[in-house]
Amino acid sequence: MNVLVINCGSSSLKFQLINSQSEQVLAKGLCERIGIDGSLTYQPEGQDKIKEAKAMPTHTEAIQFVIEALTDPATGVVKDLKEIGAVGHRVVHGGEAFASSVVITEEVLAAIEDCNDLAPLHNPANLIGIRACMELMPGTPMVAVFDTAFHQTMPEKAYMYGLPYDYYKNYKVRRYGFHGTSHSFVSKRAAEIFGKPCEEVKTIVCHLGNGASVCAVDGGKSVDTSMGLTPLEGLVMGTRSGDIDPAILEFLAKKEGLDITGLMNMLNKKSGVFGLSGNLSSDFRDLETAADEGNPLAKAALEVFAYRVAKYVGGYAAAMNGVDVIAFTAGIGENASIVREMVLGYLGYLGITLDSEANKGRGKEIRISTEDSNVLVMVIPTNEELAIARETVALV
């Protein structure tokens, strides 16, 4: 079966067509600037990218262009839509309603819409993409795969905030976590490498990208994760602050004359390593170069980032009363060897020794702990699109 994987944003749409038997990516691409002027980037497997300007007033036109590209007689990879057996949609927030992926029905759409308040920038866009696909591909099974679902196994002690209980009862204010498809995919692969069933393995996954989170996976289930009600909680990230003293907001509101919109903009878009580096960059390649050249703010930003990751890893090792595997993944986790080295520098007490030569590897699956280490430390590239395709096939 060929599965079309859709990741729909407010003005963009990423897609991959994956053969579920071989797990080969047949084609992939990106629609950008939807609702503005529009462009389509399309790449059949093994061929060059094709980029075209195309008017995309709505996501329906974007999906139509994706279908036309996939079925184009010259550059397409399928003859017609009958060769696409299902569509898997990434949905950011499923709240407490969804603890697993589901086949999409009108009832499911209504439940996703009920979660819009929890993810106002993402869920509405996800719904637009789903409805556009349903309109253009009637009769093709659609599956929703939720970022939050994997973390619904967290116990109450991990997901409750120290707030009045009525806020949870009335508004479902609690910790949900994100990057669930990535944490699930990587933790399963970690267990395979470790050589035991995932039910017998304690894994800590460090998904480190511009958005970053750490997850404790005990016996194949998420028992804690660093992101919370929103993706703002937890690690210092590219432009997000991560954990802070909440009273800072009142302090800065008075000092800077900021309203709630201004404060949230600061926390989400002007903070993290970008803010710490004096607005130098949120790209770790730029920060590494600047740090090597002696920029003290860039060096400090890297140190703060690594220190926060190490603290979460240490905390989750305690929460699970041990750890078998630590896995680094996503853009920074897979490629920034200096960050991995800095994080592991705090974890010697776990009996971990870094293999410095192996740690020079980038973007591939490698063991970076020495053979005599008590904990297996790996770099495991994530593949959220493949994870979504697998979830989709399992349901249809």
Q: What is the pLDDT of residues 86-96, one digit of tens each?
A: 999 999 999 99
What was the pLDDT predicted at 108? 96
What was the pLDDT predicted at 120? 84
pLDDT digits (tens, 9 = 90+) for 204-235: 999 999 999 999 999 999 999 999 999 999 99
CA–CA separation, 328 and 346 (whole Å): 15
What was the pLDDT predicted at 32? 87
Which of these, 290, 151, 128, 267, lies nearest to 217 by C-alpha position? 151
pLDDT digits (tens, 9 = 90+) for 104-123: 999 999 999 999 988 887 89
For the chain, which residues score pLDDT lower than 50?
none
Give buried/exposed letters for 310-326 (b at 16+ CB in 10 A, else e).
bbbbbebbebbeebbbb
Task: Give the chain's end-to-end CA distance (angstroms, integer).
Answer: 10
Two tokens, residue 335: 């490629």
DSSP letter for each residue of 340-360: HHHHHTT-GGGT--B-TTGGG
Q: Angle CA(252)–CA(172)–CA(187) in degrees, nearest 5?
A: 90
Give buried/exposed letters for 229-261 (b at 16+ CB in 10 A, else e).
bbbbbbbbbbbbbbeeeeeebeeeeeeeeeeee
What was the pLDDT predicted at 196? 97
Active site residue 166: no
What was the pLDDT predicted at 125? 86
What was the pLDDT predicted at 119? 85
Q: Of 147, 218, 224, 324, which one is the catalytic site residue?
A: 147
* Percentages of the chain per state (helix, strand, coil), in multiples of 5: 40, 20, 40
What was the pLDDT predicted at 147? 93
What was the pLDDT predicted at 58? 86
242, 309 contact by CB (below 8 A): no
pTM assigned to the model: 0.92
* Cβ neighbour number for residue 19 with a 10 Å cutoff: 16
